[in-house]
Copies of this chain bind each other. A is one copy, B any other.
Amino acid sequence: MRDVTLKQIAETLGISITTVSKALKNYPDVSPKTKKAVLDLARSLSYTPNSFAVNLRTKESRTIGLIIPEVVHHFFSNVINGIIDNAEKNGYLVIILQSNESLELEKKQVELLMNKRVDGIIMSLSNESNNDEHIKEIIRKDVPFVMFDKISKLIPCSKVIINDQKAAFNAVEHLIQKGCKKIAHIRGPVNPQNAIDRFLGYKKALEKNNIPFDSKLVYTCKNVTFEEGKEFAKQIINEHPDVDGVFVITDLVAVGVLAYFNEIQIKMPEQIKIIGFSNWFMSQVITPKLSTVDQPSFEMGVQSFALLLEEINAKKDSILFHPKTIELETSIIERDSTLKM
């Protein structure tokens, strides 16, 4: 089925193609009467403008790209939600790509989006990724670019983050206030900045409270999974039976810890208190209900798109854009897993 063209509308109404085009774009120099006639006809003919031709003319795709490590993930799916929501309000579409935590895939996806000439890219780095060439290429090519959550501090672009160090510090102080004296930490992989910062927050909170730091109490996730949580819980209780608190990199892993301790009937919060990070939905329905750090994930998505749009618009108007960093507040959600007994 062929689409009705501007030409056909022009011929039917006996006006010029330019006038039809201007009428569809609501230009002020076309009379309201003509505009109405054009719009009515276009509508009744189910006319849709050829978006490729429009793109070529305006050099705008009104499409942005989003690269994230995982879609099936409570935090990231909430961020996606925020990005799509704000993009839609501003007439933008979002292409979503999933790096599966692989640097190689991430590189390919950046290239793909740039070939596609998206108006901008939003990204959270894979765990393998750091300050890499493919990211620098985005900046070199002057493509509007925002990083959120898993960022690289060395890239000069806009960022939406939380203060991971401070949030982790607060989580560990929460355990200390509840009476914990020997606190283990299940940390994220070696690369991502947020795993490093949460680890530093853990260390700092111990220091401030005169608890000696012991590197043997730190366990490092490779894949940040439920299964790793179970496995590390087993190691912790075997190697350090006197541990009375665990700060876990994210709720998914913390739920694995709870599952193992429930299995071998270790009482929480009586014997060990657990605090997670991210406030996944399931944390409020498991036993014991998990204390955690609430991350404003939806808001992170909204703000990431807002910053990207600011840069897209600045570029369009040839105004110099200064990248900025937005830091969002976190809070401790206190539930049963850290109750003071």
**What is the minimal beta-carbon distance from A242 to any residue of chain B, in angstroms?**
27
Give Cα distance in the complex from A50 to B55, angstroms.
11
Give Cα distance in the complex from A85 to B49, angstroms.
31
Instruction: Write 20 A-B pairs (CB below 8 A) sorted by A numbering.
Output: A1-B142, A48-B115, A50-B117, A52-B56, A52-B61, A55-B55, A56-B56, A71-B80, A73-B77, A80-B96, A81-B98, A84-B98, A88-B97, A93-B97, A93-B113, A94-B96, A95-B95, A255-B285, A286-B286, A286-B287
Tell me the residues in window 279-301 of chain A with beta carbons closer than 8 Å to chain B beta carbons.
281-282, 285-287
| Residue on B nearest A100 in the bound complex, by CB | B85
Cβ of A21 under 8 Å from chain B: no
A112 & B93 in contact (Cβ 8 Å cutoff) = yes
**What is the minimal beta-carbon distance from A253 to any residue of chain B, in angstroms?**
12
Dominant SS among interface residues on chain A: helix
Chain A contact-residue range equals 35 or more
Give Cα distance in the complex from A71 to B81, angstroms.
6
Give Cα distance in the complex from A314 to B207, angstroms.
66
Cβ of A72 under 8 Å from chain B: yes
Cβ of A186 under 8 Å from chain B: no
Cβ of A51 under 8 Å from chain B: yes
Known contacts A51-B117, A286-B285, A287-B287: does B46 contact A141 (CB below 8 Å)?
yes
A94 & B93 in contact (Cβ 8 Å cutoff) = no
Measured between beta carbons, the chain B residues less than 8 angstroms from A52 are: 52, 55-56, 61, 117
Measured between beta carbons, the chain B residues less than 8 angstroms from A63 are: 95, 116
Cβ of A107 under 8 Å from chain B: no
